[in-house]
Amino acid sequence: MNQDLYQFALRLADTSLTMGQRLAEWCGHGPYLEEDVALTNVSLDLIGHAQMFYQLACDNSETSTSPDDLAFLRDVPEYRNPLITELPRGDFAYTTLKQYFIDVYHLHLYQQLSVSSDEQLAALAQKALMEVKYHLSRSEAWCQRLSLSTEEAHEKMQKALDDLWFYTPELFETDESMQRLMTASVIPDMGAIQTVWQQQTEQLLEDCQLAKPENGWMATGGLVGEHTEHLGYMLADMQFLQRAYPGCEW
């Protein structure tokens, strides 16, 4: 069970870390000053969540490790985030819609995890949930404003949706390890999370007059460490310092 929880904690942590890192790339590039501050606030929240979940992973690890080791010393095949979170940040519409999809996912996932049979996981999920609720109110407000404003903004949102939609089912994938955790009520039924996620996001897309693409090719791979080429570049950027100067602190 410890090994299963270790893997799942990595899934949560890697998801938040890659989201946080992509948002951090907006620092100094936000569409205007106030939004620049807001984007990096959310980025830091997510990196904070990653740190908590890496600690949970460490507490369930068979070998001695630290949150920093897990973040900075693992290579691409060891990362367990779904592919959607590692995609390049794109334009502001793309970042916004991706954030919205992940916020809704986190909302329902953390709500259920906060009643997990694992007390530590439940407490961490509850803590993250509070911040996620705020993230969602932001990303939802932005989706509505961008989609329902100018033709150009609406087009960019539609384009982002056409691209991102195929990465969303992967959020709810499970493997044998997760299924054991589901049986033990450590984690919720991901199928049920997917159902509420779909209801909520499809309602927003409709309100935003965005056309959901027909289901077709669907991305997969994160759970078994098969990633897009983008993750390698992200890790190179993020891990450079620890790789070049092992153990360095400041």
Partner 1 sequence: MSEMKLYEVFIRAKSGLNHRHVGSLHASDPQMALLNARDVYTRRKEGVSIWVVEAEQITASNPAQEHEWFDPAEDKVYRHPTFYPLDKEVENM
Residues making contact with partner 1 (CB under 8 A): 32-35, 37-38, 41, 134, 137-138, 141, 145
Extract the tokens encoding 80: 């367990």
Quick one: 41 or 198, whose CB is closer to partner 1?
A: 41
- Nearest distance in Å: CB 163, partner 1: 25
- Nearest distance in Å: CB 218, partner 1: 33
Quick one: 22 or 135, whose CB is closer to partner 1?
A: 135
Handedness of CA 60, 175, 19, 134 (dihedral sign): negative
- Nearest distance in Å: CB 33, partner 1: 8
Quick one: 38 or 196, whose CB is closer to partner 1?
A: 38
- Nearest distance in Å: CB 128, partner 1: 18
- Nearest distance in Å: CB 46, partner 1: 14
Quick one: 148 or 182, whose CB is closer to partner 1?
A: 148
Quick one: 151 or 229, whose CB is closer to partner 1?
A: 151
- Nearest distance in Å: CB 94, partner 1: 19
Distance CA 146, CA 64 (A): 47
Q: Which of 52, 19, 43, 20 lies closest to 127, judged by CA?
A: 52
Quick one: 31 or 213, whose CB is closer to partner 1?
A: 31
